[in-house]
């Protein structure tokens, strides 16, 4: 474990040192990288935020899908096999349809 952490630090420091001496190309023109990050750094931050939000939405959707699949498996009704197939094939969309047509109706 310690070796992998040490290796990660070495790689991080090595890449940081190479970035400090590097030059970046913007619109076909060589510019210092600090100028690049000053002008375009916000774009990479926005992309990071987008991916974090996308991962959270995907995680919540997967948990919801598993919850509906478990509910369908435990519920006693005539079309259980059909709904399990719909949930398995339809993933999150199938889970939303199941929730609206079966689970919510059972309340």
Q: Using one digit for the tens of pLDDT, what is the confidence trace for 62-74?
A: 999 999 999 999 9
In a domain, 4, yes or no: no
Q: How many domains are contained in the chain?
A: 1
C-alpha to C-alpha distance for 21 and 6, rounded to whole angstroms: 23
HSE-up of residue 100 (Cα within 13 Å, Cβ side)? 6
The model's pTM: 0.62
In a domain, 6, yes or no: no
In a domain, 32, yes or no: yes
Of residues 15 and 60, more confidence is placed in 60
In a domain, 3, yes or no: no
In a domain, 73, yes or no: yes
Dihedral, 10, 12, 14, 16 alpha carbons, nearest 10: -150
Q: Which two tokens stand for residue 20?
A: 């400090």
Q: Are 84 and 66 in contact (CB under 8 A)?
A: no
Question: What is the per-residue pLDDT across 26-36, written as a single tens digit (0 to 9) for each?
Answer: 778 887 777 76
Structural domain of residue 73, as residue ranges? Answer: 21-103
Of residues 29 and 10, more confidence is placed in 29
In a domain, 13, yes or no: no
């Amino acid at each position: 474990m310690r070796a992998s952490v040490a290796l990660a630090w070495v790689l991080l420091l090595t890449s940081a040192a190479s970035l400090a001496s590097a030059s970046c190309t913007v619109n076909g023109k060589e510019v210092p990288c600090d100028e690049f990050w000053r002008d375009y750094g916000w774009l990479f931050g926005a992309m990071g935020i987008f991916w974090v939000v996308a991962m959270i939405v995907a995680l919540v959707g997967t948990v919801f899908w598993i919850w509906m699949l478990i509910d369908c498996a435990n519920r006693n009704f005539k079309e259980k096999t059909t709904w399990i197939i719909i949930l398995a094939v339809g993933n999150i969309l199938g889970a939303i349809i199941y929730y609206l047509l079966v689970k919510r109706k059972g309340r």
